[in-house]
Structure 1
Amino acid sequence: MLHCRFIVISAVTALAFIVTGCQQPENSKHMPDTRSIAEENLGVAIFAGGCFWCTESDFDKLPGVVATTSGYIGGTVVNPTYKQVVAGKTGHVEAVKIQFDKTVTSFSELLNTYWLTIDPTFEDGQFCDIGPQYRSVIFYLNPEQQTLAEASKEALAVSARFDQPVVTEILPATEFYMAEDYHQDYYIKNPLRYAYYRNNCNRDERLEQLWGVSH
């Protein structure tokens, strides 16, 4: 079983990924100064979709997303560490806090993207990462987000797209703790290790099976 953590790969393995066409993230991240966005136009969303390296990478690609932060939410321990969270004993979930420009995108549009990045039928984890700390959750920050999230989930459930029930949770946001620095922008800092992890987790293969889209 693979977990969202450092994976040591040899030069031969790295070369194999390049030769076989494994796409690697660009070593840059568009990160506008959020101070240039009027406060009333700056929105926040928090999504848990398994490994936060992958969730962060997926949302950084979207127009209107101005910042992403990997972290932990939903647990009972104050200032949890990565080791505590992945052990599954704190109640936290790996998640990403997304800041977005509401003049460019919306919470509803982020929700639409979120579904396409997860397996909403997987109850106790996501892809190769097993355990409640990797489960899919939409954390709402206000009643409007709650209403939109619940309506979006209901629409997916009644669409009969899946034979299994949609089990993604919708919960009120609690204290969000920023993950350790080495987890932030992991796909940029460690592109080969990230590509190795994502490929071996069969994340994109499963997403294509579910949604018919490539990532």
Structure 2
Amino acid sequence: MKEVAIFAGGCFWCMVQPFDQYPGILSVISGYTGGHIENPTYEQVCSGVTGHTEAVEITFNPEIITYNELLNIYWQQTDPTDAFGQFEDRGDSYRPVIFYTNDSQKELALKSKQALTESGRFMNPIVTTIEAAKPFYKAEEYHQDFYKKAPNRYHLTHQNRQDFIDDHWKESF
């Protein structure tokens, strides 16, 4: 059994490893979604003219790891109060979005966002959007599994995110 989840949470380099480590995850692919041209390149997406967001497409076995569990992992990788990017990555292509692929995912995402809002964990409003999935385009090969290919660079780019996670997610919600 397979299902797909699509999450945007800033630079896709930093969004692969958190999901990649769990049983039931079949693949985590870096790519682009939500835009208006087919098969965009990294340079086009970074220019801001395509409307795409960097995201990860996670194929998973829901009998081993549930969509709710993926949502909990997702929330703990992002700053859900920052609509204009994530950490040092700024702009629309880095905005936080949960892209749902079916009505069940939409309902679960809305409920998890509400639970996070009601938890009082953040002083500012939760601004992560929940949107219907659009075509997902795999990013260039050098972006795939970046944390494995360039661990030193990955840790440098991930440090601000990790500091935020350590400050805000000592306990789950």
In the superposition, the TM-score normalised over structure 1's length comes to: 0.77
Question: Which stretch of the first structure deviates more once superposed, 143-152 or 58-67?
Answer: 58-67
Q: Which residue of 2 aligns with 1:209?
A: 167
Once the two structures are superposed, residues 137-179 of structure 1 have per-residue CA deviations (whole angstroms, 9 ceiling, x without a partner) of 0000000000000011011112222110000000000000000
Runs of 4+ residues over 4 Å off in structure 1: none
Q: Aligned equivalents of 2:48 and 2:166: distance in 1?
A: 29
Structure with bigger gyration radius? 1
Q: 1 CA distance for matches of 2:30 and 2:153?
A: 17
SS at match of 1:105: coil
Residues 186-205 of structure 1: pairs in structure 2 closer than 5 A = 186-199=146-159, 202-205=160-163
CA deviation after TM superposition for structure 1 residue 108, in Å: 0.7
| Counterpart-to-counterpart distance in 2, 1:190 and 1:159 | 36
Counting only pairs closer than 5 Å after superposition, residues 28-177 of structure 1 correspond to structure 2 as 41-177=1-137
Counterpart Cα distance in 1 of 2:141 and 2:56: 14
Q: Structure 1 residue 123: deviation in Å?
A: 1.3
Q: CA contact under 8 A between 1:120 and 1:166: conserved in structure 2?
A: yes
Q: Helix, strand or coil for the counterpart of 1:79?
A: coil
Residues of 2 paired with 1:198 and 1:157: CA distance?
Answer: 25
Q: What residue identity is the alignment partner of 2:58?
A: I
SS of match in other structure, 1:157:
helix
| Corresponding residue SS for 2:130 | strand
Corresponding residue of 1:183:
143
Give 1:53 deviation, angstroms: 0.8
Partners of 1:119 and 1:210 within 8 A in 2: no
SS in 2 for 1:151: helix
TM-score in terms of structure 2 length: 0.95
Q: Is the 8 A contact 1:45 1:97 kept in 2?
A: yes
Question: Which letter does structure 1 place at the counterpart of 2:53?
Answer: V
Q: CA deviation at 1:204?
A: 0.3
- Unaligned regions of 5+ residues in structure 1, if any? 1-40
Aligned pairs, number: 171
With 146-155 and 187-196 compared, the bigger mean Cα shift is at 187-196
Give the secondary-structure state (helix, strand or coil) at the position aligned to 1:192. Answer: helix
Partner SS, residue 150 of structure 1: helix
